[in-house]
Structure 1
Amino acid sequence: MIKFFRRIRFKLMETGKTGRYFKYAIGEIILVVIGILIALQINTWNENRKESLEESSILQNLYDEFSENKKMFDENIIETENAKQTGYAIMRLMGKPEELLKKQNVDSLLFIVLEPGEYRPSENTINDLIQSGRLKLLRNKKLKTLLYNWQSQLKDVKVAIERAELKIDNELIPYLSKHYALKDIDKYGALNWKENTTLKIDKYAIFNDVEFENITDDYLYRVAAAERSLKRLGTILDAILAETNK
């Protein structure tokens, strides 16, 4: 094709048709420019198509990951609520007579209180998007904002849950170790003891001890705070699922 145009130019120059030559040259330049523009448009279309396909893949990965996070969230919120309600039940037993206390399965109540649950969702997709810079491929501004809010709120959840866990590890367990039989509590856990402790201990004395009441009260305060933080995270989680499932 190039040789064809070149032959035409030479022929016009040889015959002295300068005016027609310039018109032809201008037309040729226009054709070249149009060809370049078309090539650029095709390249842009291909790039947009690739980005659109990658965006679809990202959305699918986010939806899959947060669907699993949702399952874990639902389980954890139930565990947290159970721990909180059981803690309230224990507080209602404070100062009650031993006859009433013996009608309660105190060992089981304490086991549930000591297992408030923890939430460790997957963050692989979000971290990969941020570290690789591919987050910019998402055209949904609302989704981007939700993902940033998710990470921020998740940090608050982790802090709130950690505060409750520290209360258990640093105060509740040490107190029960001195005033209760942990073996009786662990019947309901992984140790699965078949018999209670054979040691003589007044397990019901803790319900007349203000130290135990104060520890439980502060623990409940922290669990309630963790639950509120979790629920805020759950709202963001549901919104992310809605945006990635469009």
Structure 2
Amino acid sequence: MVQLFRKVRQNLLSENKFTKYLVYALGEIILVVIGILIALAINNGNQNRINKENEQTYLAGLQEEFQTSKSKLTELIAVNQSNYAGAKKILEHTNTKNNPISEATFSKLLYNTFSKDIAFNPNNSLLQEMVNSGNLKNLSNTQLRKQLTNWISTMEDISRQEEELSIQREKVLDMFRTNENSLKTIFKQAGIYDNIGLPTNETDVSNLGLLNSTEFENNVLMFILTCYATEKAHYNPLMQDLDAILNLIKKEIN
């Protein structure tokens, strides 16, 4: 084909048909440009198809991650609610002579309320990989990209709040690491001590005196307030963000 075009050009020049030569050369250039544009269009079409396929793969992975994270958060909210509900029951018996509570009941309340630490551990491995590799920009939905970027910074805020909650929990537990009170009594009365095969003796230290301690009452109160703030100001808005992200992902998945 190239040789044919060259032969035509040579014939036109040899016959002194310069005007026709220019028209022919221009036509040839136009054909080349059209060929290049067609090739680019095909290439762009293929690249767009590949990008769409990659985006769908990322979306499916993100959907699975955030659904797992939602299940974890739902369970964590329930644990947090149980913790501060138990702490409120303990608070009902502080500094009062009415409705006396038994050592066994007090121990079970203490164990059920303060034995579970709170820490949200979302599944963010794919999201982190996308951020680190720059592939987050491959998501075409601008609002989704914004929500995912905000999610990462929100996790830092959640961690700080959970750290504060852990500090308040430890302040209560520290009151049982003294000569006046006993963790062993809690474990024995709550049925935990025998289950893990620890040695027993007949001497038990009562923890009921803590119910008349203002320091204990203050620590439990701060724990309740921090639990409440963790749920209302952090976990509930986080759940709303999770639902928003999952809804955006669902709309984008073909």
1:193, distance to aligned residue in structure 2 (A): 4.8
Residue matched to 2:224? 220
User: Is contact 1:12–1:20 with CA below 8 Å preserved after alignment?
Assistant: yes
Amino acid at match of 2:243: D
Structure with a larger share of its residues in helix: 1
Whole-angstrom distance in 1 between the partners of 2:186 and 2:64? 38
Q: Secondary structure at the match of 2:177?
A: helix
Whole-angstrom distance in 1 between the partners of 2:95 and 2:120? 34
- 2:202 paired with 1:201: no
1:47, distance to aligned residue in structure 2 (A): 1.6
Write the mapping of 1:156-195 to structure 2, written as runs, cut at 5 A. Answer: 156-169=157-170, 171-178=171-178, 179-186=180-187, 187=190, 192-193=195-196
Write the mapping of 1:136-175 to structure 2, written as runs, cut at 5 A. Answer: 136-169=137-170, 171-175=171-175
- 2:237 paired with 1:236: no
User: Is contact 2:185–2:205 with CA below 8 Å preserved after alignment?
Assistant: no
Amino acid at match of 1:236: D
- Specify whether residues 189 and 75 from structure 1 end up closer, same or farther in structure 2 by C-alpha distance, changes over 3 A only: farther
The count of residues paired between Structure 1 and Structure 2 equals: 245
User: Is contact 2:61–2:126 with CA below 8 Å preserved after alignment?
Assistant: yes
- Structure 1: any 5+ residue segments left out of the alignment? none
Q: Mean Cα displacement is larger for which, 30-39 or 196-205?
A: 196-205
- Specify whether residues 103 and 18 from structure 1 end up closer, same or farther in structure 2 by C-alpha distance, changes over 3 A only: same
Residue matched to 2:21? 21
User: Is contact 1:175–1:212 with CA below 8 Å preserved after alignment?
Assistant: yes
1:199, distance to aligned residue in structure 2 (A): 2.1
User: Is contact 1:143–1:243 with CA below 8 Å preserved after alignment?
Assistant: yes
1:14, distance to aligned residue in structure 2 (A): 2.2
1:7, distance to aligned residue in structure 2 (A): 1.6
Whole-angstrom distance in 2 between the partners of 1:148 and 1:197? 56
User: Is contact 2:185–2:204 with CA below 8 Å preserved after alignment?
Assistant: no
Give the TM-score normalised by the residue count of structure 1: 0.91
Residue matched to 1:77? 77
- Specify whether residues 161 and 61 from structure 1 end up closer, same or farther in structure 2 by C-alpha distance, changes over 3 A only: same
- Specify whether residues 33 and 189 from structure 1 end up closer, same or farther in structure 2 by C-alpha distance, changes over 3 A only: farther
- Structure 2: any 5+ residue segments left out of the alignment? none
- Specify whether residues 235 and 198 from structure 1 end up closer, same or farther in structure 2 by C-alpha distance, changes over 3 A only: farther
- Specify whether residues 53 and 64 from structure 1 end up closer, same or farther in structure 2 by C-alpha distance, changes over 3 A only: same
Residue matched to 1:7? 7
1:152, distance to aligned residue in structure 2 (A): 2.0
Whole-angstrom distance in 1 between the partners of 2:202 and 2:237? 46
Q: Secondary structure at the match of 1:176?
A: coil
What RMSD, in angstroms, separates the aligned Cα atoms of the two structures?
2.2
Write the mapping of 1:28-67 to structure 2, written as runs, cut at 5 A. Answer: 28-67=28-67
Name the % identity: 29
- Specify whether residues 15 and 27 from structure 1 end up closer, same or farther in structure 2 by C-alpha distance, changes over 3 A only: same
Whole-angstrom distance in 2 between the partners of 1:245 and 1:150? 17
